[in-house]
């Protein structure tokens, strides 16, 4: 143990040594954690960058497909507009022809003239032609080879079902537009072959895709589903050649793999890993490509990223993370050293203050010690005195409560004895009268004495009942609550009868409990007498008291005492069990009865007593487990 004289040094050195050790431990722990985190973050970063690159590849392919789809839709829209313009022009020519010749020429002649006029019309570049249908949809013009007529007939049937437009893949793919020419009973239309426009659009899209670049050197290439190379910015010499047997450095037939993966994942595309030489490089590198099928033209479009490019980016990110960690560690070390110096200086200042405070503290301790010794000398006397006063107060409360109960009991005894005393007085008066008239024979005297003895015995038993009732129980015992309640009813019966108060008892169950039967009976009697006093004080017409004996839903013994006296004020409900509180007149209540009842039930018997107001008056609940 340190001696008191070394306490100042201990206070000075402890925080410095503690901070130093904590700093070393924290730094070593932090550096090991950061290194582990760096490895984890590096792996996560690698996965993240790789996933980002894959996302870029997918997005670039989707952009290309959107560009293709847009121009393909624009091609179809342009063809539809041109077809409609051609048919509208012929329709106007036919209407004008009919308007000029309908008065002088027959319909047959007009139809022949219309066909002759159509035969002189041609679509530039032989991209399409005009045709005429009768009312049943049969082709009247042109009279071409059978195969082409079958393709035209197929398109016409679709166009007649819809709103004029239809596409046919039978024979040469074509787009047609049909419009009724009512005066002739015919329909006229125009058709355009799609392969010419599609071929021109494909050439444009191939040229555009070869010029497309994104990121750092990203490009596109295109094969068809038969492995023929259609577009590649760095393999111009191989355009149009079959790449079926083209392999990478590992011997993988990569073009076959591209086509197979794209066709298998026709709605999503697929990633393929292989080795391929970068443009203008001599050795192949690992490459990850994304390939997907453009269904309308059966193209397989691909783009990729080289593994060494990804690794280079990952290495740069790792260097940045390592440099950041080194700066962070250096900052922590600087802060720790500065903190250590600050703590050392503060410890020095605090030590000086503590030395002065210790001297002052020692002086105060001496004074406090002397005062404490003096206080201890008198403390025991004060505690014993306070305990004695508290015990005397409790005894006084108990004695006061017993005196109040004894006064109440004397009133009950008076009511119990009033009737027997009146009967004894009548016996004596009868003997006196018989004696005056000389009729007091031995038989009359014996009968009168026997009857008087019975009355005196009843009065003696009453005294014994009261003596037993107020004799305190020394130990807990098992008893039936119904029997204890009946003792209280027996004692209260005379005073209730004399006050014209009806007592109603309902017994739902008669539980047996552990406790003090006499004290329990006193509680029930006290509740009945309190109800009696309220009913008399408030002059309640037809006063009544109800007592219910049974169990709670939990199985505890329950006695409820109720009256029709109007209840207790809400402001007084929480105070009725406090000592010296009473709602009776000062001459009739001590305010201790309910307080002692609460002490008996809750402290001595482990139960609870509660009060509430119901529709008629107050309701006391006495519950004991």
Class of domain 389-471: mainly alpha
Residue ranges, CATH 3.30.450.20, the chain: 86-190
Residue ranges, CATH 3.30.565.10, the chain: 472-624
At 145 the pLDDT is 47
- Give the tens place of pLDDT for each residue, 380-428: 677 777 667 755 665 555 555 555 555 555 555 655 555 566 666 766 7
**Average pLDDT across the chain, whole number:** 82
Average pLDDT over residues 571-597: 75
Per-position DSSP letters for 183-220, written without gaps between them? GGTEEEEEEEEHHHHHHHHHHHHHHHHHH--BTTTB--
Superfamily of domain 86-190: PAS domain (3.30.450.20)
Average pLDDT over residues 601-624: 93
At 146 the pLDDT is 44
> Among 178-182, 489-493, 524-528, where is mean pLDDT lowest?
489-493
Contact (CB, 8 A) for 229 and 239? yes
What Cα–Cα distance (Å) separates residue 519 from each residue in 475, 592, 600? Answer: 11, 15, 7
Position 25 confidence tier, pLDDT thresholds 50, 70, 90:
confident
Q: What percent of the chain has pLDDT over 90?
A: 38
At 166 the pLDDT is 85
Is residue 336 predicted with pLDDT exceeding 90?
Answer: no
SS3 string, 428-472, reads HHHHHHHHHCCCCCHHHHHHHHHHHHHHHHHHHHHHHHHHHHCCC
Cβ atoms within 10 Å, residue 304: 21
Query: Which residues neighbour 34 within 8 Å (Cβ) at sequence distance 6 or greater?
Result: 325, 328, 329
Q: Based on DSSP, count helices (H) and strands (E) in the chain, helices before strands.
A: 10, 17
Task: Please give the Cα distance from 545 to 474 (Å, whole number).
Answer: 31
Q: Model-level pTM?
A: 0.48
Question: Which stretch of DSSP H or E encloses residue 229?
Answer: strand 229-231
Q: Output the CATH code of domain 472-624.
A: 3.30.565.10
Residue ranges, CATH 1.10.287, the chain: 389-471
Which position has the token pair 């143990």?
Answer: 1
């Amino acid at each position: 143990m340190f001696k008191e004289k070394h306490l100042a040094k201990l206070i000075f050195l402890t925080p410095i040594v503690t901070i130093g050790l904590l700093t070393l431990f924290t730094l070593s722990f932090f550096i090991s954690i950061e290194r582990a985190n760096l490895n984890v973050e590096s792996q996560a970063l690698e996965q993240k960058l790789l996933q980002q690159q894959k996302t870029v590849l997918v997005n670039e392919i989707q952009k290309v497909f959107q560009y293709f789809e847009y121009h393909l839709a624009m091609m179809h829209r342009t063809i539809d507009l041109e077809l409609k313009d051609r048919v509208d022009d012929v329709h106007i020519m036919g209407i004008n022809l009919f308007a000029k010749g309908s008065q002088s020429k027959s319909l047959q002649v007009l139809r022949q003239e219309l066909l002759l006029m159509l035969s002189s019309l041609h679509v530039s570049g032989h991209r399409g032609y005009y045709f005429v249908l009768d009312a049943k949809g049969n082709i009247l013009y042109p009279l071409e080879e059978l195969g082409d007529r079958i393709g035209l007939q197929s398109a016409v049937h679709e166009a007649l079902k819809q709103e004029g437009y239809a596409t046919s893949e039978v024979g040469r793919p074509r787009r047609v537009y049909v419009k009724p020419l009512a005066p002739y009973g015919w329909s006229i239309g125009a058709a355009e072959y799609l392969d010419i426009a599609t071929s021109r659009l494909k050439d444009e899209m191939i040229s555009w895709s070869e010029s497309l670049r994104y990121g750092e050197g990203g490009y596109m290439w295109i094969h068809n589903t038969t492995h023929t190379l259609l577009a590649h910015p760095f393999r111009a010499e191989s355009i149009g050649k079959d790449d079926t047997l083209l392999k990478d450095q590992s011997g993988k037939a990569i073009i076959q793999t591209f086509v197979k993966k794209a066709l298998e994942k026709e709605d999503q595309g697929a990633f393929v890993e292989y080795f391929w030489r970068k443009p203008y490089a001599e050795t192949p590198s690992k490459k990850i490509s994304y390939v997907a099928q453009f269904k309308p033209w059966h193209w397989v479009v691909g783009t990729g990223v080289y593994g060494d490019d990804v690794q280079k980016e990952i290495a740069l990110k790792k260097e940045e993370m390592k440099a950041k960690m080194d700066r962070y560690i250096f900052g922590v070390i600087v802060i720790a050293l500065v903190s250590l110096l600050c703590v050392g200086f503060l410890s020095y200042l605090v030590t000086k203050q503590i030395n002065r405070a210790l001297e002052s503290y020692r002086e105060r301790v001496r004074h406090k010690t002397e005062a404490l010794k003096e206080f201890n000398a008198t403390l025991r006397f004060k505690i014993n005195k306070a305990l004695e006063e508290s015990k005397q107060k409790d005894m006084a409360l108990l004695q006061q409560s017993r005196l109040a109960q004894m006064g109440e009991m004397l009133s009950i005894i008076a009511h119990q004895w009033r009737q027997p005393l009146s009967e004894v007085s009548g016996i004596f008066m009868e003997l006196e009268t018989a004696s005056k008239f000389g009729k007091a024979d031995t038989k009359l005297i014996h009968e009168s004495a026997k009857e008087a003895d019975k009355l005196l015995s009843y009065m003696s038993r009453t005294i014994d009942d009261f003596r037993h009732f107020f004799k305190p129980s020394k130990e807990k015992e098992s008893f039936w609550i119904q029997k204890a309640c009946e003792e209280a009813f027996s004692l209260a019966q005379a005073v209730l009868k004399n006050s014209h108060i009806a007592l109603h008892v309902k017994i739902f169950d008669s539980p047996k409990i552990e406790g003090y039967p006499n004290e329990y009976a006193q509680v029930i009697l006290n509740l009945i007498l309190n109800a009696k006093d309220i009913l008399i004080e408030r002059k309640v017409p037809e006063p009544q008291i109800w007592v219910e004996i049974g169990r709670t839903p939990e199985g505890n013994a329950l006695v409820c005492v109720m009256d029709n006296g109007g209840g207790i004020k809400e402001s007084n409900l929480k105070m009725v069990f406090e000592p010296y509180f009473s709602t009776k007149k000062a001459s009739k209540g001590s305010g201790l009865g309910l307080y002692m009842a609460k002490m008996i039930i809750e402290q001595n018997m482990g139960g609870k007593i509660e009060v509430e107001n119901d529709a008629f008056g107050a309701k006391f609940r006495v519950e004991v487990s």
